[in-house]
Amino acid sequence: MSEYMLMFSLGPVQPFIAQARKTRDLWLGSYLLAKLMEAAVKDLKGELVYPTRSTVDDRRGIPDIPNKFVAIFPSEEAAYEEIGRCVTRIEKRWEKICKEVWQEIVAEYTTRETERIWNRQTDAQNLFETYWVIVPDSSREYKQWLSYTQEVLDARKRLRNFASQSKRGQEGELREEGEPGEKSTVSGEREALHGIRTDRQGIQDFWVKLTSKLSAHDISKDGSERLDAIDTVKRFATKSQEIPFKTFPSTSYIAVASFMEVLLLAPIDQDVLGNWQKATNEQLELPEGAKRAVPYLHRMVMNDRQLAERDWILQRDGDLYFPEMFVPRQLMQNYGIADVSEATSIARSAKDALAHLLSATDELHITRPTPYYALIQMDGDRMGSLLGGVGGKEEHWAISEALSTFSRERTPELVEDSYPGKLVYAGGDDVVALAPLARDIRAGNQPLTVLDLVDALRKIYHDTVQGAVLDETRKAEVTASIGVAIAHHYTSLSYVRRTAKASEDLAKKAYGRNALVVTILRRSGEQTRVGCHWFYKVSRDGSEQMLEPVSLFLEFYEFFKKEILSPKCVYILLEEAPVLVGLDRNAQISEIKRVLHRQRKEEVESKFVERDLAGRLVDLAEAMDNDDRRPRKADSSLAIELHSEERRHGLVEVLGWLLVMAFLARKEPE
């Protein structure tokens, strides 16, 4: 008796998530899609093979269901009937969420025109695309059946849905044809909600009224944020009973999370802390729920009674740790303080209290807060090929279960329980997370920097999923590529999100997968982008060795952080790079060693001799030059400029990584 495989996907994913101005938009966009997929697989009549878990982890507030499912049915009719039910369940849940957000946020200020825009933009049939295929087993082996079904679904997606095509651009972005008037300040594509008046001032007045009873932490109250219906649903989805209320940290909060960690523990004078608390309470204080925004910090306070007296620290947003925030105009815009004189008074007292707080932390040799944070994006490599080679349904289920374990258990344990980071999304082999750059303290084997964090994430994925693969030769296929965007906390979040995605794409395409790419977006506009594989094979003295670049780079991070080595050495070597790349191995080692020795503290001579840093850097550079996993044009030469878009000399790439280490150690000038 034949069985039938149903493969179903919901989209568009990236455009729906990426249109975000605040981190909560990014998170809730992911959460909404996960909850819609939860509705799709709820009460599924067939045998669910992927994913193996059909409910979102609402307790943690992590969207952890992928946008695709695979199920097996005993008949073609049963599969067809289930498709209709899936689509209906998705539409009903979406309509319920939209209705509840409408009632809580918009209804009081509505006009017929507002309602018309809302109904048009939230129409699920025009907004979402559902793709599905049903394929009989036809006596195929399971892996052939699964592989063929995926091929058919991919072909179906390339056809796209005709009714939605006119409303989507080449990249699949949500785009309404003929959308009139002022556009949303988030999407920039759909008409912003408004009342009777359609001029900019009229629309702004509408949003001033609509936000009058809302918190300035949720949306600007001066009308500068004017949202369309979709953006409004994403921003306020927690007003629906379907979405659990969770406070999500801002980019500023994430940037200074490691500084907050130290403040909770440091022996700072109580009067200094008390003055800072008093100067930033009431109007500048975040809601009570902010204490749970970063799980690691919240757990610190909950597990130690002595820290409970300082839990108010977790109710201060990150921008308050930077003197430039304390300008009346900034406080009025960001915190909704209406009176100029009041804003001036608060700015003066808070800036003075901050100065004393930072002086106190300086005396304790605590690193000052950095305005930069990291956005991490991870994706498993060649998942189609990996799943296409499964030996049967049992192995497919085992891999699916391993992916669920990775996203629901192992990833939160690492990102949120062992580091002051925050997950945006974790579904299957995909992860999006926010993290501070580095910490001043570490407990046990916890990650110390964002580079430690992504390396550990890659290892956990490898170990968790590889164990479910039965064929020993296919275990090597379990690899992951990660892109990291490091940006100033005021940089446009949508731009940072695109940069993280582009970095991940570069790791796969330009570096040949199983790789890491980091892009630094400096406030000045300058960028630094570097990449490498997780491992390189080198032959030395007749034996083959494995080089781990991340471990080597982190040694330099420690040297820069502890001021054992001056970052000036990197700039000197980058200036010499055009000449260095033409020298033989021994000459390169000699010159690098000379520069490192001149820029070190005299008392650490033995550390440099024992570790042979220069030799290891050159070994890694040679391995990068000889790496055949990276595509390269036959007639092109390796670039010697760090900022070149072409493939660079390995030595230039390595020095670029050392520049990133100096940045993480916060020793590189802006």
**Tokens 């008046």 belong to which residue?**
197
Residue in this structure with the two tokens 């070994």, named with its chain if needed:
619
Tens-place pLDDT, residues 39-86: 999 889 999 999 999 999 899 999 999 999 999 999 999 999 999 999
Beta strands at 422-427 and 430-436: parallel, antiparallel or unpaired: antiparallel
Token pair 């269901």 in the structure block, residue: 65
Instruction: Identify the pLDDT of residue 645.
Output: 85
Tokens of 15: 């455009």
Cα-only R_g, the chain: 27
Pairing assessment for the beta strands 68-73 and 129-136 based on DSSP bridges: unpaired
To the nearest whole number, what is the mean pLDDT of the chain?
91
Distance CA 469, CA 214 (A): 51
Q: Is 540 exposed, middle or buried (0-12, 13-18, 19+ CB in 10 A)?
A: exposed
Model confidence at 552, in pLDDT bands (50, 70, 90)?
very high
pLDDT per position as a tens digit, 251-284: 999 999 999 999 999 999 999 999 999 999 989 9
According to DSSP, the residues that pair with 519 across neighbouring strands are: 485, 529
pLDDT of residue 97: 97
Q: Mean per-residue pLDDT for 327-349? A: 92
* Phi, psi (degrees; rounded to nearest 5) at 171: -95, 5
| Residue 285 per-residue DSSP state | B
129-136 and 527-533: which strand pairing?
unpaired
Alpha carbons 150 and 156: distance in angstroms, whole number: 10
Can the peptide bond before residue 436 be classed as cis, meaning omega within 30 degrees of 0? Answer: no
Is residue 561 pLDDT above 50, yes or no?
Answer: yes
Distance, CA of 663 to CA of 438 (rounded, Å):
10
Q: How confident is the model at residue 168 (pLDDT cuts 50, 70, 90)?
A: very low
Residue 540: predicted pLDDT: 73
Tens-digit pLDDT profile for residues 626-657? 998 887 665 568 988 898 888 999 999 999 99
Q: pLDDT (tens digit, 9 = 90+) per residue, 93-105?
A: 999 999 999 999 9
CA distance linking residue 29 with residue 358, whole number of Å: 37
Cross-strand pairs, 5: 72, 135
Q: Which residue has the tokens 């289930």?
A: 82
pLDDT confidence bin for 538, thresholds 50/70/90:
confident
pLDDT band at 575 (very low <50, low <70, confident <90, very high): very high
C-alpha distances in Å from residue 281, one per residue of 222, 358, 630: 22, 18, 53
The DSSP H or E segment spanning 540 is: strand 536-540
User: 374 - beta bridge partners?
Assistant: 435, 486
Domains of the chain, CATH where assigned:
4-238 (3.30.70.2220), 257-363 (no CATH), 370-534 (3.30.70.270), 538-670 (no CATH)
Q: How confident is the model at residue 165 (pLDDT cuts 50, 70, 90)?
A: very low
Copy the structure tokens of residue 136.
């009989």
In order, the DSSP letters of 101-146 are HIIIIIGGG--HHHHHHHHHHT-HHHH-EEEEEEEE-TT--HHHHH
Query: What is the side-by-side strand order in the sheet with 68-73?
Result: 47-50, 68-73, 4-11, 129-136
The values of phi and psi at residue 639, to 5°, are: -75, 150
Instruction: Please give the pLDDT value at position 670.
Output: 53
Task: Using pLDDT thresholds of 50, 70 and 90, give the confidence band for residue 429.
Answer: very high
Q: Distance (Å, rounded) from C-alpha 132 to C-alpha 68?
A: 9
Tokens, residue 84: 């209709």
Cα 433 to Cα 439: distance, rounded to the nearest angstrom: 17
The answer on pLDDT for 441 being more than 80 is: yes
SS (H, E, C) 289-316: HHHHCCHHHHHHHHHCHHHHHHHHHHHE
| pLDDT, position 169 | 43
Residue 603 has a pLDDT of 73
Size of the chain, expressed as the number of residues it contains: 670
Q: Which pLDDT band, with edges at 50, 70 and 90, does 162 fall under?
A: low
Q: What is the pLDDT of residue 301?
A: 95
pLDDT of residue 633: 66
pLDDT of residue 610: 64
DSSP states of 492-536 as a string?
Answer: -HHHHHHHHHHHHHHHHHTS-SSEEEEEEE-TTS-EEEEEEES-E
* Three-state DSSP class for residue 56: coil
Structural element, H or E, at residue 422:
strand 422-427
- pTM for the full model? 0.93
Q: Is the peptide bond before 12 cis (omega within 30 degrees of 0)?
A: yes
What would the pLDDT profile of 176-223 be if each residue is shown by its tens digit? 456 888 999 998 889 999 999 999 999 999 999 999 999 888 999 999
Q: For residues 435-457, give the mean pLDDT.
A: 94
Taking the alpha carbons at both ends of the chain, their separation in whole angstroms is 68
Confidence of residue 174 (pLDDT cuts 50, 70, 90): very low
pLDDT tens per residue across span 391-428: 899 999 999 999 999 999 999 999 999 999 999 999 99
Structure tokens at 298: 């919240």
Tell me whether strands 480-488 and 515-521 are parallel, antiparallel or unpaired: parallel
pLDDT at 21 > cutoff 90:
no
Q: Which of 468, 374, 483 is nearest to 428 (CA)?
A: 468
Cα 518 to chain centroid distance, Å, stands at 12
* DSSP secondary structure code for residue 173 in this structure: -
Neighbours of 594 (CB within 10 A): 12
Q: Which helix H or strand E contains 208, and what residues bound it?
A: helix 200-210
Query: Which tokens belong to 560?
Result: 């820069």
Concatenated DSSP letters for 376-407? EEEEESSHHHHHHT-SSHHHHHHHHHHHHHII
